[in-house]
A = this chain, B = another copy of it.
Amino acid sequence: MRPFLVAIVFSIALPSFAQQPVLNLMPIPTSVQPGTGWMIIDSSFSVGINGYSDSRLERSVDLFLSNLRRQTGMPAQLMRLSEAAQARLVIQASRANQAVQELGEDESYRLEITTGSAKLSAPTGLGVMRGFQTFLELVETTPQGFAVPALTIVDRPRFPWRGLMIDVGRHFMPLDVLKRNLDGMAAVKLNVLHWHLSENQGFRVESKKFPRLAAMGSDGLYYAQDQVRELIAYAAERGIRVVPEFDMPGHSTAWFVGYPELASAPGPYQIERKWGIFDPAMDPTEEQTYRFLDKFIGEMAELFPDRYFHIGGDEVNGKQWDANPKIQAFMRTHGLKSNQDLQAYFNQRVEKIVSKHGKIMVGWDEILRPDLPKNIVVQSWRGQESLAQAAKQGFRGLLSYGYYLDLMWPAARHYAVDPMGDGAANLSPEEAARILGGEACMWSEYVSPENVDSRIWPRMAAVAERLWSASSVVDIDSMYRRMEVTSRWLDWLGLTHNASYAPMLRRIAGSDQISSLKSLADVVEPVKDYTREETAPVEPTSLTPLNRLIDAARPESATGRQFGRMVDVLLTGHASDLTRQEIRGMLTAWRDNQSSLQPLESQSFLLEEVVPASENLTRVATAGLEALDYMDRGARPEEAWKSKTLTLLADAGKPQAQLLLVIVPSIQKLVQAAAGGSAAGY
């Protein structure tokens, strides 16, 4: 499970082109050994398979070549599978990967590139897929043509379970959205799509045995079984397992619209439109509940080939149970002292059903009870301590705490969370091996098919690196640099995290003239954690349009980050003239931005709430310029200026339109520095 060799080499001397390329690999491989020179990739490039081959391996080659052709702009007739003897890149796999991909299958590979040829060898087809992604990341435009640097990479993942959970219950995501995200996942070597398929707000899969689940519980927004099979096949071709989640006994209102008899209180039920934790829960005391689940899970166990089956199990508030005398009587009869005990009873029953249908149960933290079989997997939203507890009891676990993409954290904050960190740091090797990896979670209260990519990407790549690369890979600057390159590569793959930005801004502006709105949007971020819900002017529901600036703004502002870095350099006193000019230029543009935005404001209802944020940008930038002026003059400002300005900045630091103006902390630093008289020689 641990890398046998950690030798990250970024600067490789390549005398033949007299330049030092910087590798843009993400995740960083276990080991990179630089070679000399480049292998040119021209239209004669082809791939051959040496030794073991099957149709799936050939399909992997096809996918790889189609990406390579896209990257280089080659016609579809070129760059094909050929005889190994003629091929520039030879693939050598020792054996097939499993027909249904399994947890822990070998994903390692070795990629050797010389100036004349390249060889990608791996124990299984999965390793070949991972190696192909690395190869694609190595392709560069050089003076001699497209090329990959000569080198040897030996690589294997740190954790065997590297996932992304997408919640299609709260907001339905059409198949093409999921497919492009699978392409993105493959690019960063993730291997599990955790498909959160049922929620209070929607039940998203066709069941032939219980057709009212989707017919009445989905607003018509669900996946037909053929579509499910299509997606699973699409994922399998990319080395990605698909683990379905059907959340029970809570988070299940949508089930009850068609089947109210499952619930712990009489119906009728409606699809829930609000967000939160709700009362409806399955009745764990009725045998018909288990008969239903037996049939249903049996059907789904056939539809979803993966060995793992997620039953949710989170956030049951117990109110329906408390209020139901029959359930209370059942609890007394069976010696169940609390709702937790009742849920544990339910989980035990469900685990038997899941197991009977050949699957291994996965559930959120709450399912963890010593009386469940040790082969279940616990997914922790609570943290490494909780994972460690499970591991000590013999349970395997996944970390999702720290990887909630909906909280709008910066990538660096996710990146710093290690499944083996904190509470899990001191496990025995045996216990540690039970920590399988982690999953980033894209809960979808505030994401639509239009902006979901921008919530997942590119930050997902940072989590993917945490789960693949060595724990010692922690350089934030390197991560951000490579994340930006990865983000561009994801553009090629059809991800819309960048492409949807301008159209969304145009809609908000009601105009094609969006440069001033974009300047503002580039330096704001949505409020963090659960603040959006807590501070919403009107209670948001699943029917609320997601077309505000908060929905277009990126979770993490690259401009804000870059500006922050420049200010930090400035305050070291070692900034170049160019940096100083750039800072001043940015501040000036921000100061003047409102005057360009203003004419638009009266034209669009979606801009109304943005005005105060825009005005703040002017105020904050003005303060920054004043601070610079003081520093340039070497003059210490009056205390009154400092206190007035810091008050202004504190105000401007508060959310406007549920957006944070991300340059405020840097301007505060500038003001402090100017007022502290530390200006000399800055």
A-side residues, CB < 8 A to B, are 19, 43, 70-78, 140-145, 171-172, 219, 221, 448-450, 484-485, 488, 491-492, 499, 503-504, 506-512, 542-547, 551, 602-606, 608
Contacts and interface: CB of A to CB of B under 8 A. Distances in A.
A602 B143 contact: yes
Contacts of A76: 172, 219, 221, 449
Nearest to A487: B512
B141 A510 contact: yes
Given A75-B448, A509-B141, A545 B43 contact: yes
Which 5 A/B pairs are nearest by Cβ-Cβ distance? A141-B510, A73-B547, A141-B604, A77-B219, A73-B545
B507 A606 contact: no
8 contacts: A43-B545, A73-B504, A76-B219, A78-B543, A143-B602, A144-B605, A484-B512, A488-B512
A485 B513 CA distance: 11
Contact of A74 (B70, B145, B491, B545): B545
Of the candidates A141, A484, A503, A507, the one having the most CB atoms from chain B within 10 angstroms of its own CB is A141
Contacts of A512: 484-485, 488
Contacts of A144: 605
A558 to B, nearest CB: 12
Given A488-B512, A503-B491, A506-B488, A141 B73 contact: no
A141 B74 contact: no
Interface of A is mostly: loop
Contact of A508 (B141, B503, B544, B551): B141
A143 B545 contact: no
Nearest to A218: B77
Given A73-B547, A605-B145, A140 B484 contact: no
A485 B172 CA distance: 30
Contact of A606 (B70, B141, B171, B172): B141
Nearest to A604: B141
A507 B172 contact: no
Nearest to A146: B605
Contacts of A506: 488
Given A74-B545, A141-B511, 10 more contacts: A72-B545, A73-B450, A73-B546, A73-B547, A77-B219, A77-B543, A78-B545, A484-B512, A485-B512, A499-B499
Nearest to A508: B141
Contacts of A511: 141
Nearest to A491: B503
Nearest to A551: B73
Contacts of A171: 75
A120 to B, nearest CB: 23
Contacts of A219: 76-77
Given A76-B172, A141-B606, A70 B450 contact: yes
Q: A484, A491, A605 — which one has the most chain B CB atoms within 10 A of its CB?
A: A605
A366 B142 CA distance: 48
Kindly name the residue among A72, A76, A507 whose own CB sees the greatest number of chain B CB atoms within 10 A: A76
A508 B141 CA distance: 7
Contact of A605 (B143, B484, B485, B602): B143
Given A503-B491, A506-B488, A75 B603 contact: no
A141 B603 contact: yes
A279 to B, nearest CB: 22
Contacts of A604: 141-143
Nearest to A600: B141
A171 B71 CA distance: 18
A492 B506 CA distance: 11
A37 to B, nearest CB: 16
Contacts of A603: 19, 141-143
Given A141-B606, A507-B141, A605-B141, A75 B499 contact: no
A435 B140 CA distance: 53
B75 A544 contact: yes
Nearest to A173: B76
A507 B75 contact: no
Contacts of A546: 73, 75
Given A73-B504, A77-B543, A491-B503, A510 B450 contact: no
Given A72-B547, A488-B512, A503-B491, A77 B542 contact: yes
A453 to B, nearest CB: 13
A1 to B, nearest CB: 35
A449 B71 CA distance: 13
Given A43-B545, A70-B450, A77 B221 contact: yes
A32 to B, nearest CB: 21
A320 B76 CA distance: 31
